[in-house]
Copies of this chain bind each other. A is one copy, B any other.
Amino acid sequence: MRPGRLEAFTDGVVAIIITIMVLELKVPHGGDLIDLRGSVPLLLAYLFAFINVGLYWNNHHHLLHITERVDGRVLWANLFLLFWLSLVPFVIRWLDESAFSPGATACYGIVLGMSAIGYTLTERAIIACNGRDSRVARAIGRDWKGWGSIALYLAAIPLAYVSRWAAIALYFAVIALWLVPDRRFARAAER
């Protein structure tokens, strides 16, 4: 089975997740730019989630680009990933309505951590389907970035109850980890 339709479906779901979050943003009560002040935390949370979901899309793009085959297991691992990503707008809304409470901050880590597990499951399923010697399997390699992200999210969940800022710092760390250009897939595509 070709990965084409999997890409198209994933693009659709991610495009909707990323865009409907804006429906949750409340507009300021006043009519002045300064009234946006009250919306700044939520706008930042939206920006943050946009980058997080954008990173998943970006990585998914690179991963599927060198994948030759997908099977039923890949489809379901991918749906698992999309299910958890689809909960991001829900957490953003909770963060807003509970004024960045520890519970909602921890929940952000749970949702993104489960998404990271979904991403890793998708990678494993792709390797199982394409073979350990396939180009995509060699490009994924030991995937310390994937496992590292899961570990950081796991650490952030209890940490949110100690200090929300420490948990948010860990979420930033994961973003930084992935924003650093990753040459694995580009090298694999060149070969």
Report the Cα distance A58→B76, complex, angstroms. Answer: 8
B16 engages A12 (CB within 8 Å): yes
Beyond A12-B15, A47-B83, is A106–B5 a contact (Cβ under 8 Å)? Answer: no
Say if the beta carbon of A121 comes within 8 Å of chain B.
no
Q: Which of A111-164 contact B (CB under 8 A)?
A: none
Report the Cα distance A86→B32, complex, angstroms. Answer: 21
B107 engages A36 (CB within 8 Å): yes
Say if the beta carbon of A172 comes within 8 Å of chain B.
no
Q: Taking CB as reference atom, which chain B residue is nearest A78?
A: B54
Say if the beta carbon of A8 comes within 8 Å of chain B.
yes
30 cross-chain CB contacts under 8 A: A1-B61, A1-B65, A5-B11, A7-B8, A8-B11, A9-B11, A11-B12, A12-B16, A16-B19, A18-B86, A20-B20, A20-B22, A20-B23, A22-B87, A27-B94, A27-B104, A28-B94, A30-B103, A32-B101, A32-B102, A32-B103, A33-B103, A33-B107, A34-B103, A36-B103, A50-B86, A58-B72, A58-B75, A58-B79, A71-B186
Say if the beta carbon of A17 comes within 8 Å of chain B.
yes
Q: Which of A76-114 contact B (CB under 8 A)?
A: 76, 79, 82-83, 86-87, 89-90, 93-94, 97-99, 101-104, 106-107
Say if the beta carbon of A14 comes within 8 Å of chain B.
yes
**Inter-chain contacts of A107 with B (CB < 8 A):** 33, 36
**Inter-chain contacts of A58 with B (CB < 8 A):** 72, 75-76, 79
B22 engages A90 (CB within 8 Å): yes
Q: Taking CB as reference atom, which chain B residue is nearest A33?
A: B103
